[in-house]
Structure 1
Amino acid sequence: MKAFQAVTEAIATEGLDHLFAVMGDANQDVIVDLGERHGTTFVHAHHEAGAVGMADGYARFSGRPGLASVTQGPGYTNATTSLVAARLHRTPLMVVAGHTSLRDPYNPQGMVDQSALARLTTEANVRLDSVHNVDYCLGEAFRQIKVRKGPFILNLPQDIQQTEMPDPSWSYRPMYCPHSLQPPRTEDVEEAAKLLAAAKRPTILCGLGARNAQAESEIRRLAEHLGAPVAVTVLAAGFCADYPQYLGISGGLGSDLTVNTLTESDVMVVVGASLNEWTTHFGKILENGKRIIQIDDRPDAFGWFARVAIGMAADAGTAVAALADRLGETMAARQPDAGLAQRIQEQDRKLRSVRFTDGDATDPRRAALYLEDALPKDDRILVLDGGHAAMVCTKALTAPRAENWSIGWDFGAVGQGLAIAIGACFARPGERVTHVTADGSFMMNVADFQTAVRHKLPLTVMVFNDNALGQEKHDLIHKKLNPSYADMPQPDFAKLAAGFGAKGFTVRTPDDLGEIDRALAVEEGPVVVDVRINGDVELAVSWEIAKHLS
């Protein structure tokens, strides 16, 4: 057995059965061995950023680790943006990276220090320098993606790959302990329970950490006992969505009702959220001297953005369950605010009562609300991407469950969403994925739309098309600079889809919105809808966010 075969055996034994990759000379043996000897499903992407993005999307929507592979040098550097996005999303993801032979230090493809770059992008990597440390390298890799959670890069030099293992009877054995749920300190639970018992207007804010911990039932039990509303970060949209006092997304991408309700609360339980300036609407929801109880399994999550009254470094579900149990012993359940449910409904009506400005195209708000009504309510799967168009759609579109929602801008990068959506299709076979994006975002990685066509994936791509970089164009106008520099005339996306072998539809004006229904009625294969939007429409939060970014 050669070293690369030991690696593929470990991968197969750990149950990673979908490989997203771009083949090169330094990873082809790994790819073929996984497919031929272990029956791994191989998805050949057109670009390494797409391959890693697909593995990221697969992990997000399957709940299992993703697996990608790239070759050495330029193949490796091409994957960088997707690796950082996966790190920021805390995605459990292994990247098997080809590496130049250690005996060939002057190979131009080895001019980039892949280990150093990995430390910058993922903070987790190892290079297989000898067949004698195969077990160590595999232990480090699976400890990261299955225990610590996050992406890991396994660099495999070509010459070491082909070296025979010293023990001909070698077999893979896991070299890590299973993930154990960290409980909260008893004194923290006691103090938090007292704080909540005395609260007049408690609220709960949940983030990606709560979603990843699958703590929905525990959080709902706590919310029902407190009579407290639940809001979420944009990464956890849909979490507790069927709870009657679900407020939706906090911050500028959410509603005024959500921001105001959180601002007016006196005690806020924050579960798995960092309280960054986007979630807190630039600090607004932290006002009024409120006390914060923060629960997070990351030891560095506390106190950066806000002073925390009580910080619990613990598993979200375990800590919330302990807190709910203690409150059940010390205080009677409270009735929720009777008027809040009505205000939530009024907020939805307010969103729909806006005066649309279509011009010669379609107001993006009108198109997004039409899509919200046209999509199935209970089983929609959404992946959002883009700039200003993504803001519009985030405000209009809802997710029935957190596991049916994801965004592509974890790293603030447009263009990631298509790969994530393709990965979602493989993670949830038989379920249609709707990818809502913008023209600039879609074109950035459009080559991998052919991957979706090649595999006949149930993928619907809604392209909000203003023939420009919409957010940047609005920014230039506010700065009194020539906005034409942000113009970017695009191809006819319906014809482009047909050229790829997919179905294409076009919405030019509000009279054409029925084309969205026709597109959603397609049962097999990928679909693209070119929604021509009025690029002059700007959300108020657009410039507000831009000012804070600058």
Structure 2
Amino acid sequence: MASTVAEIIVDTLCQAGARRCWGIVGDTINHFTDAVRKSDLRWVHVRHEEAGALAAGGEGYLTGELAVCAGTCGPGSLHFVNGIFESHRNGAPVVLIASDVARAEAGLRFPQEVDQRKIYEQASVFCEYVSHPDQARRITTLAAQAALTRGGVAVVIVNGDMFTETTDDRLEWRVHRPSSVLRPSDDELDALARDLDSAARVTIYAGIGARGAAARVVQLAGLLKAPIVHTSRAKEFIEPNNPFNIGMTGILGNRAGVEAIDAADIMLCLGTDFAWTQFYPDARYVIQIDSDPTHLGRRAPIRTGLVGDVGATIEALLPRLKTRSDSAHLDRSLKRWAADREGYAKLACAHDDALIHPQTVAQTLDTLAADDAIFTADGGSPMVWLLRHVTANGRRSFLTSLLHGTMANAYPQAMGMAAAFPGRQVIAMCGDGGMTMLMGDLLTLVQEKLPIKLLVFNNGSLGFVEMEQRVEGLIDSFTELKNPDFAKLAEVCGISGWRVDTGPELEPAMRRWLAAEGPALLDVHVNRVELVMPPKVEIGQVASTALFGVRAVLDGRSREVVQLLRDNFLR
């Protein structure tokens, strides 16, 4: 029986496990959306395609299953771009159906014609046109398979008139999801074991590639008496139930993580592609294990690079290792980590009635949120407060924009997560800049009945940018935001809203906000001049901040300088 290309694409996506398609209907995808209407695939109508791509990415990242978004030709598909880059860099399995103008007009600069392939090739694991009706199932199957097995976005480009073409569709193309074992050779594992046994101090650095292998990483650390430092993306699964965890390195990290790496004879990198070269030791101290050979030595020179899945590699390595008895390196690292946590807790408690520190907000949220809550956070300071003050317990899930570093990712990603997990509490930690960037999709929360809890860190500025400018010794410029009353705005949209201006209001309002039925927004006015302090404050950073102080005083802002010093250096 003949089927249209639109019907075949939708059927193939459903068979590959897709349950939702995020997008905005219109012209070149009308026949596709009509096929969705008649299928088991649910259409989720967003107000901006970027939000749809972020939602699909959030869904795919958390479930590990295929998520879908679709857009019209020209502007419709182009609006997906930033969300597609974010989702792709997170490794979320997403298929984008990007439509184009009718074939008769292609190549003639027809209105809204765009070369989709050139745009999306740089942010996809697969990007192809359906050039003939007989290709529809085959191309869509290959796209879904690439997204699921390689981890990323796959793009299927379809001319609008192609959706109406028919074919008998006799060949049974289907998605294959093999489960293979990848590890270094026996000779490589023997050499690795010798290196680890001969090193007095080993520090493990675990990244997203250790997802699913946390128990093995802990087992290895116990054998080596090695502290475990983790990347930001690995917080969710490395932090819980881990007696060897000592936090993170990098600008968002803590002293224990930085010092444990600096003091190590071997930094054993497990499934991490951490980008900041200045936080790596000299090459002779670094051994890297990654499933992708192109990642080996990509960020910094290394002594040894091995290809393998983290869990399978550790399983094969453990019998080759001797049990270490000296725990001095581990003990020092754990002591430093305890001091780091004490410092974070002190910052969270240091507030008065008239001034709410963002750390206090995050700490209160950590205490009141559900044990299995899902958290997202906007790129910038909300991401920092999540990473430092919200506890991973093995049941909670986290997603932040750490590779693409975009604004406005938090609540759109939360939309996808809430749709996929309707029984769990989903919390988006939003900056006021991020919230206002994609504010139109507040209406999607109401229309699609997505009970997301939105927490707005309202400091009236692009806070992270202000910090960057000040650390460079500059007067912060063009960062001020004139915000609405977000609580009232939420209520106009049909969302429950609360506003908090003073410390005593925070906990009771947060309790009511978390307990509210449906979507809810909590607007908290936090300290504007809060610095995100790095794990080590360098002389250059102090000098630059001092230079900002001099310039700000000369610019008539002495009160702000005093508050900056009091809140960040004198407490």
Deviation at 1:370, TM superposition (A): 2.4
- Structure 1 moving runs of 4+ over 6 Å: 542-547
Given the alignment, which residue of 29, 32, 40 partners 1:30? 32
Identity of paired residues, percent?
Answer: 23
Greater shift, 246-255 or 401-410, is seen at: 401-410
Task: Output the CA distance in 2 between the equivalents of 1:283 and 1:265.
Answer: 16
- The one-letter code of the counterpart of 1:505 is W
Residues 32/502 of structure 1: CA separation in 2 closer, same or farther (3 Å cut) = same
Separation in 1, partners of 2:395, 2:271: 14
Cα deviation, residue 177, structure 1 = 6.5
Q: Which amino acid aligns with 1:435?
A: A
Q: CA RMSD in A?
A: 2.6
Alignment TM-score, normalising by the size of structure 2: 0.87
Structure 2 contact 21–69 (Cα < 8 Å) conserved:
yes
Given the alignment of the two structures, is residue 316 of structure 1 paired with residue 315 of structure 2, yes or no? no
Alignment of 1:58-207 (within 5 A): 58-105=59-106, 106=108, 108-122=110-124, 124-165=126-167, 168=168, 170=170, 172-174=172-174, 178-207=178-207
Q: Which of 462, 471, 476 is the equivalent residue of 2:455? A: 462
- The partner residue of 2:235 within 226, 234, 237 is 237
Query: Aligned partners of 2:262 and 2:469: how far apart in 1?
Result: 32
CA deviation map 1:29-76 (0-9, x unaligned): 22232342x312221111111111111000111121221111111011
Deviation at 1:481, TM superposition (A): 5.2
Cα shift at 1:408: 2.8
**Secondary structure in structure 2 of the residue aligned to 1:541:** coil
The answer to whether the 8 Å contact 1:519/1:529 transfers is no
By how many angstroms is 1:117 displaced?
Answer: 0.8
Cα shift readout 1:320-351 (whole Å, capped 9, x = no counterpart): 22112332xxx135475446545433321122
SS of the residue aligned with 1:269? strand
**Aligned partners of 1:238, 1:334: CA distance in 2, in Å?**
29
| Cα distance per residue 1:171-203 (max 9 Å; x no partner) | 642265735332322222111111111122212
Q: Please identify, of 350-359 and 53-62, the stretch whose mean Cα deviation from structure 2 is larger.
A: 350-359
State the AA in 2 paired with 1:332: T
Aligned residue in 2 for 1:208: 208
The aligned residue for residue 438 of structure 1 is 431
Q: Give the secondary structure class of the aligned counterpart of 2:461.
A: coil
Structure 2 residue corresponding to 1:504, chosen from 478, 481, 497:
497
Task: Determine the C-alpha separation between the residues in 2 that align with 1:298 and 1:402.
Answer: 28
Q: Comparing 186-195 with 345-354, which one deviates more in the overlay?
A: 345-354
Which sections of structure 2, spanning at least 5 residues, go unmatched? 545-571
For residues 527 and 324 of structure 1, the distance between their equivalents in structure 2, rounded to whole angstroms, comes to: 49
Q: Offset at 1:539?
A: 2.3
Unmatched segments (≥5 aa) in structure 1 = none
Query: 2:278: which partner in 1?
Result: 283
Distance of aligned partners of 1:35 and 1:187 in 2 relative to their CA distance in 1, 3 Å threshold: farther
Change (3 A) 1:516 1:236: farther
Aligned residue identity for 2:293: P
For the 8 Å contact 2:366–2:389, the answer to whether it is kept is: yes
Shift of 1:367: 2.1
1:358-413 residue CA offsets vs partner (Å, 9 max, x unmatched) = 6953122222222223334x323211114234334432222223870110343121
| Cα deviation, residue 427, structure 1 | 2.1
Aligned runs of 1:222-261 on 2, under 5 Å? 222-241=220-239, 242-261=241-260
> How far off its partner does 1:306 sit?
2.2
Alignment of 1:344-383 (within 5 A): 344-354=337-347, 356=350, 360-376=354-370, 378-383=371-376
- Structure 1: how far apart are the matches of 2:177 and 2:50? 31
TM-score w.r.t. the length of structure 1 is 0.90
CA distance in 1, matches of 2:437, 2:425: 23
State the AA in 2 paired with 1:486: T
Q: Is the contact between residue 467 and residue 532 of structure 2 (CA under 8 Å) also seen in structure 1? A: no
Give the partner amino acid of 2:205: L
Looking at structure 2, the residues matched to 121 and 226 of structure 1 have their Cα atoms a distance apart, in angstroms, of 39
Q: Which residue identity does 1:188 align to in structure 2?
A: E
Q: What do the CA deviations read for 1:133-161 (whole angstroms, capped 9, x no partner)?
A: 33441343123112222101101112221
